Amino acid sequence: MIQISNLKSAKVFYFFEEISKIPRPSFHEKAISEYLVKFAKDRNLDVRVDEVYNVVIKKPATKGYENAPTIAIQGHTDMVCEKNKGVEHDFLNDPIKLIYEGDFIKADRTTLGSDNGIAVAMALAILDSDDISHPSIEAIFTASEESGMEGVSFLDTNDLKSSILLNIDSDEEGIFTVGCAGGVKTNINIPIKYEDTDNNYESYCIGVYGLTGGHSGIDINKGRANSNKLLVRTLNTLSKDIDFSLNKIEGGAKDNAIPREAEAIISIDNKNISLLEQKLKNIEDTYKFEHSNTDPNLSIKIQKVEKQKKSFVKEDFNKLITSIMILPNGVQTVSAEIEGLTESSINLGVVNTNDEGVEIIASIRSAIVSKKELIMEQVQLFINSIGGKIDFRGDYPAWEYNKNSIIREKCINVYKSMYGKEPELQIIHAGLECGLLSQKMPNVDLISFGPNLYDIHTPDEKASISSIDRVWKFLLNLLKEIN
């Protein structure tokens, strides 16, 4: 294992360990904001916090950099909270259990929070330092990015003087992000009526498990299976040959994560169980064949559960199955200008049963506003036609490429001097806060970068220790060159 205490970035890892002790799901950033405020006050740094727990900490320039442009270092404090089935972890109360293994830091079968805890830790390491050369720093810690960028939407930028902003929320070292897609969160409600479950029926849970999942922007073009779509497809296939009723359906955890697991509780006459099990085995074989490259651990399981008293009426069961089968999912268009760039997509991230019916939460993304709006309109027309309700929230703009970016050229030059080669530039399909920040701070010059992070938004998330160290050195060199 790499000896972190010997690394130049040792303080980055120290602060990452500290914030990993603080639960920080989206909309629950009070504790991390209190930590940041105390951190600043303990060091006599200017700090402010707002009512949604965005925090801004300012640090004066070091000697010789008094006349350099003010630099914003920006990242978000919340994290996606996912865990493997059966793992006992309360994201509202429990610290993230860190595991160091070879070149990687990961968590104990939960998401790690390197997205975007690494940005927070790097900013804190700079704010804490007394031996790092840098211009005036405005460290911007935003809340609730993962849920729809509510924090940065609320952020007051009137007192900010930065002309350059470094967003440390990218996850491939040596690739600088210079633009990103916009997006919108979509909440769909399909009303459901209930009837008494047949007294002769027993209840069973059918589950789709073991999918790879991933980020609904970055990984949406990799062809990975969506557990919500597979589960409903399974129910549709079964309904052609077997009589059963549906009691409940649940799948996915976050709209911005490709769902890995989904479960449905059905009620069925026990005389049909053998046929059901055989059908499920055949369906599982089909799915494994279809997704052998993307989801090698896919499985379908069935187990008996407590007898359910209420079931969806047949008409609403059919309506629900039809809806999720028809609703679009995955890549919708690709760019005609930039090879390999996903232009627009939709991810059916969450399905859950509530008192009013079944809720579907989706994330729509596009680099082109009109194509995002087209997907929104198509989904809305369909949901309206079946008597459902739909609500769009958290609409955020795309970050458009700046042909005249000075900080981009500075980053390229620093990278070339360190590694003797050109970095890559990319426009990504994922959403970054840079779109909203460029609207709020129209004169700011933005770029995004970060270390190698893998399988973010999944319990397999891990971060490369050596890459974090290299990106830290790059950041220090970059700050030194901005004078």
Whole-number Å distance between alpha carbons of 94 and 247 = 32
The residues near 291 (Cβ < 8 Å, ≥ 6 apart) are: 211, 223, 224, 225, 298
Whole-number Å distance between alpha carbons of 114 and 9 = 15
pLDDT of the residue at 148? 81
Q: Which of 78, 146, 169, 445 is catalytic?
A: 78
pLDDT band for position 3 (cuts 50, 70, 90): confident
Give the end-to-end CA distance of the chain in Å, rounded to a whole number: 37
Could you give the angle at the alpha carbon of 85 between the alpha carbons of 103 and 294, nearest 5°? 65
Look at residues 155, 119, 135, 117 and name the one whose alpha carbon lies nearest to residue 58.
Answer: 135
Whole-number Å distance between alpha carbons of 271 and 378 = 42
The two three-digit tokens of residue 125, written as one number: 């390491």
Is there a catalytic annotation at residue 78?
yes
Q: What is the pTM of this model?
A: 0.78
pLDDT of the residue at 431? 83
Q: Is the pLDDT of residue 102 over 90?
A: yes
pLDDT of the residue at 338? 78
Residue 34: half-sphere exposure toward Cβ, Cα within 13 Å: 7
Whole-number Å distance between alpha carbons of 94 and 83 = 13
Q: Which of 82, 115, 138, 145 is catalytic?
A: 145
Backbone torsions φ then ψ of 88, nearest 5 degrees? -90, 100
The two three-digit tokens of residue 51, written as one number: 């009512």
258 sits in which H/E element: strand 257-258
Look at residues 358, 378, 368 and name the one whose alpha carbon lies nearest to residue 312.
Answer: 358
Share in percent of the chain as helix, strand, coil (round to 5): 30, 30, 40
With beta carbons less than 8 A apart as the criterion, state whether 225 and 294 touch: yes
Is there a catalytic annotation at residue 461?
no
With beta carbons less than 8 A apart as the criterion, state whether 399 and 152 touch: no
Number of H helices, E strands in the chain: 11, 25
> What tens digit of pLDDT does each residue of 153-181 get?
999 999 999 999 999 999 999 999 999 99
Whole-number Å distance between alpha carbons of 183 and 174 = 26
How large is the average pLDDT for residues 45-69? 97
Q: DSSP assignment, residue 52?
A: T
> What tens digit of pLDDT does each residue of 360-413 get?
999 999 988 899 999 999 999 999 999 999 999 988 899 988 989 999 999 999
How large is the average pLDDT for residues 243-261? 95
Q: What are the C-alpha distances in Å from 19 to residues 285, 295, 392?
A: 43, 32, 32
- Whose structure tokens read 């940041």? 36
pLDDT band for position 1 (cuts 50, 70, 90): low
445 sits in which H/E element: strand 445-448
Q: Is the pLDDT of residue 329 over 80?
A: yes
pLDDT of the residue at 5? 87
pLDDT of the residue at 51? 97
Backbone torsions φ then ψ of 142, nearest 5 degrees? -95, 155
pLDDT of the residue at 185? 93
> What tens digit of pLDDT does each residue of 403-457 get?
899 999 999 999 999 999 999 999 989 889 999 999 999 999 999 999 999 999 8
The domains found in the chain, sorted by start residue, are 4-181+398-481 (3.40.630.10), 184-396 (3.30.70.360)
Backbone torsions φ then ψ of 219, nearest 5 degrees? -100, 0
- From the number of C-beta atoms within 10 Å of its C-beta (0-12, 13-18, 19+), residue 302 rates as middle
Whole-number Å distance between alpha carbons of 203 and 267 = 4
Q: What are the C-alpha distances in Å from 474 to residues 14, 168, 464?
A: 19, 12, 15
Whole-number Å distance between alpha carbons of 115 and 171 = 8
Whole-number Å distance between alpha carbons of 242 and 259 = 27
